[in-house]
Amino acid sequence: MIAYNKQSLDSLSIQETARKALFDKYIDQAAYDRIIAAHPVSFYMPNIFARVGLYILTWVAVLFAWGLVGLLLFTSINEEEILYGIAFLFAIAGFFMLELFIREKKLFRAGIDDALLLSSCVALTGALHFIYRENGVMIAATVCIVSLLSTARYADRLMASICYISFLAAVFLAMMPEAMAAIPFTLMGISLAGYFACRKMLKSFSLRHYSNIFTIVSILSLCSFYVAGNFYAVKTLAPVVPLPGLFWALTLVTPLVFIYLGLRKKDVILLRSGLIYIAAAVLTVRYFHSVLPLASAMIVAGLVLVALSWWLIRYLKTPKNGFTYEPLAYPSATDKLNISGLIISQTFGGTHQPSGGDVQFGGGSGGGGGASGDY
């Protein structure tokens, strides 16, 4: 089913584990070298910057090729229907090249395959226009099926995310006018089922090549669970919220439950999701009730956060109950590019240009949501 060489996928995961073990000093360099030598990977996997470059350039080539062919054919046969036929042609050509590159050139997460996969799926969805014809549910269902098949074949995380989201969208749109009251509960049910199914399949040996997929879908299902129960989201759907108490409870308690479970099970996904949704819960409360004036609320929250993190760092100076403050993962590209420096200059250093006569000094438009890129 999967397009990539399975043995290389296995070796890759072993090498990755060995790299972590070496970084944590569980094995020495000699053992590491032996492991790497025993499990060769045949893939072409460029470094992250080459991948980005190849991704951009492939998209440029694909888009211009579409433009060229479309222009040539569309000017000679001036009918709208022909566009869908052309799109189908693009999809076939794209998937053919993708298969060829994977088999012959051994591309794996190399930018070219990422771009070809996404562009071919877009073309295919366009070509299937005769199925949906402006019908929202059918659009979502088509996208869901196309991305599901791509996920099965290429184990791509983006495709899996699109698949999950379009599935929820299809359910949502199908229920929309008639069964509106049941939407939150249905979506929460689907999310929970999706989450537990992912956790279960993550442990399955025969599905081991899809472990990335299950991780990303479990993150998304936690997200959809929270959003489906969030008071603000329900309120936008129905002006008069039935059972307001229940939805307020879900808004406020869910993040805490996530954090509690995350700490108990040492599950980084639950923990980080919980932290993000606490912010969402605070924003939701503030949207409906102004508990404190904005400034005081910010000062109180800031003080609490600083104090809490100060205390945590102190407390975890020596590891307690298996928790530590020391960074354990090996440095990622984010550290190397000094992203944190850029975030600081973006959020704090909102320096306006001193233009001509009037004075403008940096009030700092503290807008940029700096605190995300750490997954």
Partner 1 sequence: MNQNTPAHQEELPPSAITEAQMKAFSGQRLFSLHWEIKVLLYLGVLLLSTGLGILVYENIDTIGHQAVLAFIAILSAGSFFYCYKQSAPFSWNKVESPNPFFDYILLLGCLTFISFIGYLQFAYTVFGTKYGLATAIPLVVLFFSAYYFDHLGVLSLAITNLAAWLGITVTPMRILSDNDFSSYRLIATGMGLGIFLLVLALISQKKNLKAHFAFTYRNFGAHIFFISCLAAFFIGYNLPLTWFLVLSAFAAYMWITAYKEKSFYFLLITLLYEYLGLCTIVIRAFAEINEIYPSIMFVIVSAIFLCYYLIQLSKKIKHDRVQ
Window 50-69: residues binding partner 1 (CB under 8 A): 50, 52-54, 56-58, 60-61, 64-65, 67-68
Integer Cα distance of 84 and 121 in angstroms: 13
For residue 62, the minimal CB distance to partner 1 (Å) is 9
CB neighbour class for 184 (10 Å; exposed up to 12, middle 13-18, buried from 19): buried
Q: How far is CA 318 from the centre of its chain?
A: 33
For residue 164, the minimal CB distance to partner 1 (Å) is 17
Which residues ranging from 151 to 190 are in contact with partner 1 (CB under 8 A)? none
Residue 89 binds partner 1 (CB under 8 A) = no
Integer CA distances (angstroms), 38 to 8, 11, 24, 300, in order: 12, 9, 21, 56
Which residues ranging from 15 to 34 are in contact with partner 1 (CB under 8 A)? 16-18, 20-21, 24, 26-27, 31, 34
Which residues ranging from 316 to 355 are in contact with partner 1 (CB under 8 A)? 316, 319, 322-329, 333, 336-338, 340-342, 344-355
Residue 85 binds partner 1 (CB under 8 A) = no
Among candidate residues 134, 128, 130, the one with its CA nearest the CA of residue 149? 128
- Residue from 2, 71, 179, 291 touching partner 1 (CB under 8 A): that is 71
Indicate the residue among 135 and 309 with the shorter CB distance to partner 1: 309
Binding residue count for partner 1, defined by CB under 8 A? 107
Which one of 40-48, 144-152, 166-174, 240-248 is the stretch in contact with partner 1 (CB under 8 A)? Answer: 40-48
Indicate the residue among 103 and 266 with the shorter CB distance to partner 1: 266
For residue 34, the minimal CB distance to partner 1 (Å) is 5
Residue 261 binds partner 1 (CB under 8 A) = no
Residue 299 binds partner 1 (CB under 8 A) = yes
Residue 242 binds partner 1 (CB under 8 A) = no
Residue 269 binds partner 1 (CB under 8 A) = yes
Residue 287 binds partner 1 (CB under 8 A) = no
For residue 161, the minimal CB distance to partner 1 (Å) is 14
Among candidate residues 162, 159, 186, 273, the one with its CA nearest the CA of residue 222? 273
The answer to whether 331 and 317 have CB atoms below 8 angstroms apart is no
Which residues ranging from 196 to 215 are in contact with partner 1 (CB under 8 A)? 202-203, 205, 208, 211, 215
Integer Cα distance of 282 and 5 in angstroms: 47
Q: Write out the DSSP string of 18-57.
A: HHHHHHTTSS-HHHHHHHHHHS----B---HHHHHHHHHH
For residue 212, the minimal CB distance to partner 1 (Å) is 9
Residue 359 binds partner 1 (CB under 8 A) = yes
CB atoms within 10 A of CB 115: 22
Which residues ranging from 98 to 157 are in contact with partner 1 (CB under 8 A)? 110, 112
The answer to whether 274 and 259 have CB atoms below 8 angstroms apart is yes
Indicate the residue among 136 and 350 with the shorter CB distance to partner 1: 350
Indicate the residue among 96 and 323 with the shorter CB distance to partner 1: 323
Q: Looking at this protein, which amino acid is placed at residue 221?
A: S
Residue 76 binds partner 1 (CB under 8 A) = no
Among candidate residues 168, 162, 163, 165, the one with its CA nearest the CA of residue 184? 168
Integer Cα distance of 164 and 171 in angstroms: 11
Q: Looking at this protein, which amino acid is placed at residue 134?
A: E
For residue 259, the minimal CB distance to partner 1 (Å) is 10
Integer Cα distance of 357 and 351 in angstroms: 16
For residue 325, the minimal CB distance to partner 1 (Å) is 6
Task: List CB contacts of 128: < 8 A, sequence separation 6 or more.
Answer: 142, 146
Q: Is 4 helix (H, G, I), strand (E, B) or coil?
A: coil
Which residues ranging from 211 to 240 are in contact with partner 1 (CB under 8 A)? 211, 215
